[in-house]
């Protein structure tokens, strides 16, 4: 049937029905006891009185399909918001009140999002994201850093100890580093006699000058408990050196070699093999020698020859996270503005440093007072700003001092200047766009160091200042747990496609519910009857 014939058929049907409605008696036709009626045309095409529509607008709303759709969507959104608001409240309650929480600029719980995006992209891009962990003597022996490294490498992948100096005077609990040859070490944070006659210190705030030849060995430290299984597995190795001078570099690494493979005499043995060293000369002040090994190793040797400055040796896995432990005994972290800023910027860039942790304050506590607090604020702010200028793509977390105690009036008490130091550092960090993590609060506040020392085994030393290895590991775990809360929050929003606008709407919905509950409670009349009256009325009812 053609479209025209179909149209004629439908039109004919309407005409017949119209005639039936016009000719059919209004009272209907009665057959036996049954009356048959047909709707009149006035019933079908009845017009609403405009005045009636004005007097009863709800009638129009009930018949408005657009309004019905909007109401259904609002009900669906309310249900969705109700489900999300409880989960979001759980996270945001921790961000606001949790003892181990981070204080973040603007109280923005999404502050870590940029950093988490870099971590997630690392595996996709086969890249390594570096976290620079600067601090004072609390970090020596790779304490705290090793626990953070292990937790993040388990979560996001990675291997190796990160960046190491060519000369490591204080042993690491996770990695054995040794050197032999013509290397002289200079420290920016050490005594005056240990300083170089220039400011080219590199990312580790130290430099080793090569004049001749040297060999550096790096090996995972064997541990019966194997507390740090990811600290081995090197496959990305870099040497950061000066552009000036002459330098030859060779890497030898341990690998398993199969001899007479597939025969009865097949043997497996470890052997050192040489790897070529491509040089990256695209930087103005930095020369980078790098290796991407075909397999992983936990034992490597680097042979150096020539005249040059060695700033760092990076030992990483194929992708994921690297955490660089940079312990500065006696330092308050007030040295970054004195470093060669271009060299520092190039170093951060080549190492893809995306998070900078500054853990200082303990060495400020004994001397900080109301007379020098303004000077201290400016000095700390200058350090944060120097790092931000060198690496605007990185986020900065400032970790304040832990509880510290000494004998006062015959009793072990927290240092009097501790509260002022913490308040000062928190204020400076937040004002300069850095997050703040309060170890003092995390430990339990005033007097908590005494309980940490008294734990069995002890979590802190008898000096009531430094953590034991166990205590440092525990503090690292607490830090990672707090960071993981932000990561879970990040993943929750990503899973449910909650952007900033939707997050604002959900918060508004939750606030409206809270206000409604408050209003309902306020409107409910108070029951002023006494307990005795309630008992009597109950008894009478029985």
When mean pLDDT is compared across 127-141, 220-234, 345-359, 498-512, the lowest value belongs to: 498-512
Q: Would you say residue 172 lies in a domain? A: yes
pLDDT in tens, 411-422: 999 999 999 999
Which helix (H) or strand (E) segment holds residue 441: the answer is helix 439-443
Please indicate whether residue 22 or residue 462 has the higher confidence score (pLDDT). 462
pLDDT of 78 higher than 90: no
Please indicate whether residue 123 or residue 531 has the higher confidence score (pLDDT). 123
Token pair, residue 318, equals: 């194929």
Give the Cα separation of 341 and 349 in Å (integer): 12
Domain count, the chain: 1
pLDDT of 331 higher than 70: yes
Please indicate whether residue 110 or residue 499 has the higher confidence score (pLDDT). 110
pLDDT of 37 higher than 50: yes
pLDDT of 73 higher than 60: no
CATH of the domain at 302: 3.40.50.1110
Q: What was the pLDDT predicted at 503?
A: 77
Q: Would you say residue 36 lies in a domain? A: no
pLDDT in tens, 354-402: 999 999 999 999 999 999 999 999 999 999 999 999 999 999 999 999 9
Q: Would you say residue 141 lies in a domain? A: yes
Q: Would you say residue 473 lies in a domain? A: yes
Q: Would you say residue 29 lies in a domain? A: no
Give the Cα separation of 300 and 375 in Å (integer): 46
pLDDT of 115 higher than 70: yes
Give the chain's mean pLDDT.
Answer: 85
Q: What was the pLDDT predicted at 271?
A: 72
Q: What was the pLDDT predicted at 542?
A: 42
Residue 171 DSSP class: P
Closest among 149, 101, 110 to 437, alpha carbons compared: 101
Segment 277-296 shows an average pLDDT of 87
Task: Compute φ and ψ for 356, nearest 5 degrees.
Answer: -115, 120
Q: Would you say residue 50 lies in a domain? A: no
CA atoms 506, 508, 511, 512: torsion sign: negative
373-390 vs 418-431: helix axis angle to the nearest 10? Answer: 40
Q: Would you say residue 352 lies in a domain? A: yes
Segment 440-469 shows an average pLDDT of 96
Closest among 58, 152, 67, 172 to 354, alpha carbons compared: 152
Domain ranges, residue 192: 90-497
pLDDT > 70 in the chain, percent: 76
Question: Contact at 8 Å (CB) between 328 and 205?
Answer: yes
pLDDT in tens, 129-171: 999 999 999 999 999 999 999 999 999 999 999 999 999 999 9
| Residue 146, SS3 per DSSP | helix
Q: What was the pLDDT predicted at 34?
A: 63
Task: Compute φ and ψ for 391, nearest 5 degrees.
Answer: -145, 75
Greatest alpha-carbon pair distance for the chain in Å reads 124
pLDDT of 32 higher than 70: no
Closest among 441, 438, 431 to 385, alpha carbons compared: 431
Q: Would you say residue 80 lies in a domain? A: no
pLDDT in tens, 475-499: 999 999 999 999 999 999 998 888 8
pLDDT of 512 higher than 90: no
Question: How many helices, marked H, and strands, marked E, lie in the chain?
Answer: 15, 19
Task: Compute φ and ψ for 77, nearest 5 degrees.
Answer: -65, -40
How many angstroms separate the Cα of 196 from the Cα of each of 206, 271, 332, 478?
Answer: 9, 38, 19, 38
What count of other Cβ atoms lies within 10 Å of the Cβ of residue 394?
Answer: 20
pLDDT > 90 in the chain, percent: 64
């Amino acid at each position: 049937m053609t479209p025209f014939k179909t149209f004629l058929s439908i039109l004919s049907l309407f005409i017949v029905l119209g005639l039936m409605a016009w000719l059919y008696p209004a009272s209907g036709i009665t057959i036996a006891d049954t009356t048959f009626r047909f709707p009149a045309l006035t019933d079908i095409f009845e017009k609403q009185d405009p005045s009636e529509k004005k007097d009863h607008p709800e009638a129009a709303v009930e018949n408005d399909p657009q309004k019905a759709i909007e109401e259904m969507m609002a009900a669906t959104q309310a249900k969705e918001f109700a489900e999300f608001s409880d989960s979001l409240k759980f996270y945001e309650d921790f961000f606001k009140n949790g003892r181990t929480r981070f204080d973040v600029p603007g109280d923005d719980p999404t502050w870590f999002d940029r950093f988490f995006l870099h971590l997630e992209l690392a595996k996709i891009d086969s890249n390594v994201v570096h976290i620079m962990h600067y601090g004072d003597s609390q970090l020596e022996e790779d304490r705290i850093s090793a626990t953070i490294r292990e937790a993040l490498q388990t979560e996001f992948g990675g291997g190796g100890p990160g960046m190491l100096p060519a000369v490591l005077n204080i042993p690491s609990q996770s990695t054995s580093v040794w050197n032999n040859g013509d290397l002289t070490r200079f420290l920016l944070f050490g005594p005056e006699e240990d300083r170089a006659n220039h400011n080219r210190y590199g990312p580790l705030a130290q430099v080793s000058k090569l004049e001749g030849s040297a060999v550096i060995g790096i090996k995972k430290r064997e541990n019966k408990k194997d507390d740090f299984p990811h600290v081995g597995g090197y496959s990305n190795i870099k040497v950061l050196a000066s552009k000036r001078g002459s330098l030859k570099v060779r890497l030898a690494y341990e690998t398993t070699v199969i001899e007479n493979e597939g025969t009865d005499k097949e043997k497996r043995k470890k052997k050192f093999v040489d790897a070529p060293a491509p040089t990256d000369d695209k930087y103005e002040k930095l020369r980078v020698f790098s290796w991407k090994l075909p397999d992983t190793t936990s034992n490597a040797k680097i042979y150096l020859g020539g005249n040059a400055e060695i700033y760092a040796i990076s030992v990483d896995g194929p992708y994921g996270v690297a955490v660089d432990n940079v312990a500065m005994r006696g330092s308050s972290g007030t040295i970054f503005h004195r470093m060669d800023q271009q060299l520092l910027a190039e170093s951060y860039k080549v190492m893809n440093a995306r998070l900078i942790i500054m853990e200082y304050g303990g060495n400020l506590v004994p001397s900080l007072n109301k007379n020098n607090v303004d000077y201290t604020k400016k000095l700390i702010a200058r350090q944060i700003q120097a790092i931000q200028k060198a690496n605007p793509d990185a986020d900065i977390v400032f970790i304040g001092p832990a509880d510290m105690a000494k004998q006062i009036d015959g009793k072990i008490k927290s240092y009097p200047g501790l509260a002022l130091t913490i308040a000062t550092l928190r204020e400076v960090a937040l004002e300069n766009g850095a997050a703040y993590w309060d170890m003092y609060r995390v430990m339990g506040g005033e007097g908590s160091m005494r309980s940490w020392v008294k734990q069995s085994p002890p979590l802190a030393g008898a000096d009531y200042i430094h953590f034991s290895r166990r205590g440092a590991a525990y503090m690292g775990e607490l830090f990672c747990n707090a960071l993981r809360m932000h990561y879970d929050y990040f993943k929750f929003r990503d899973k449910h496609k909650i952007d900033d606008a939707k997050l604002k709407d959900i918060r508004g919905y939750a606030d409206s519910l809270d206000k409604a509950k408050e209003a309902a409670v306020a409107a409910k009349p108070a029951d002023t009857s006494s307990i005795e009256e309630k008992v009597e009325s109950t008894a009478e009812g029985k």
